[in-house]
Amino acid sequence: MKCSDPRFTIPELSYRAEPLKWRTVVCVPDVFDQAEIDRILGLVDPKHKQDGAIGSGDLDQTIRRSRVAPLVYGPTTEWVYERLTKTTTDVNGKHFGYDLLGFDSHLQYTEVPEGGVYDWHVDIGPRNYRFRKLSVSVLLDDGDMFTGGHLETAPAATFTTRGDRALMTNPSPGTAIFFPSWLLHRVTLVNSGLRRSLVGWCVGPSFS
């Protein structure tokens, strides 16, 4: 008996018009255009920038050397949330099928300077991190602006399509890269320049 047998359909998921095309990494180009990226960068409050902590809350610059700032939700940033929510809903419906409620906190602006890195980690963890299910990273800079600084996922990400793999390796600014929050990933050493991104985590009931 095939798994697509309707008797095995989970009612909550039955709204799907098509079966899930499950992927580990999904890349969506042009979620924001250059003018919108400039607007986003203008919304980041330099006073809110602080060193990025690792999961334990500690600052360990051998693992993570970056600066982060919340893109606080409000009237000026609402459009960024709406755009990303729309894209996330679409990607989740087609490729992940997670039960999601929304973003777990403010979206996070991240900058990794020359010599900066964010070593292998997962986004899901203890305490409130346990509700994270789907992570998204939007690159805000052109690849010409920095060298190194590649977002990489564990080699197990074999479900990535060839097109998605190319986009993840060499994303154009405004490309959103989605992956499950349990997937190991890292940002490799930035050899020169500054790499900026906008990161978000979608939460929902714990995996069961």
Q: Please give the residue ranges that form the binding site for ligand AKG (CB under 6 A).
A: 110, 118, 123, 137, 151, 185, 187, 197, 199
Report the chain's terminal Cα–Cα distance, integer Å: 24
Q: How many C-beta atoms lie closer than 10 Å to residue 72's C-beta?
A: 14
Smallest gap from residue 198 Cβ to ligand AKG (A): 8
Measure Cα distances from 58 to 120, 121, 169, 203 in Å. 16, 14, 29, 23
Residue 105 and residue 72 in contact, taking contact as beta carbons nearer than 8 Å:
no
Angle in degrees, CA 7, 9, 10, rounded to 5: 130
Q: How many C-beta atoms lie closer than 10 Å to residue 154's C-beta?
A: 14
Smallest gap from residue 92 Cβ to ligand AKG (A): 18
Name which of 92 and 116 has its Cβ closer to ligand AKG.
Answer: 116
Q: Is 17 left (phi over 0), alpha (psi -120 to 50) or beta?
A: alpha
Name which of 100 and 124 has its Cβ closer to ligand AKG.
Answer: 124
Name which of 77 and 110 has its Cβ closer to ligand AKG.
Answer: 110
Name which of 87 and 110 has its Cβ closer to ligand AKG.
Answer: 110
H-run or E-run covering 82: helix 78-91
Name which of 77 and 137 has its Cβ closer to ligand AKG.
Answer: 137
Measured torsion, CA atoms of residues 190, 192, 196, 202, in degrees rounded to the nearest 10: -10
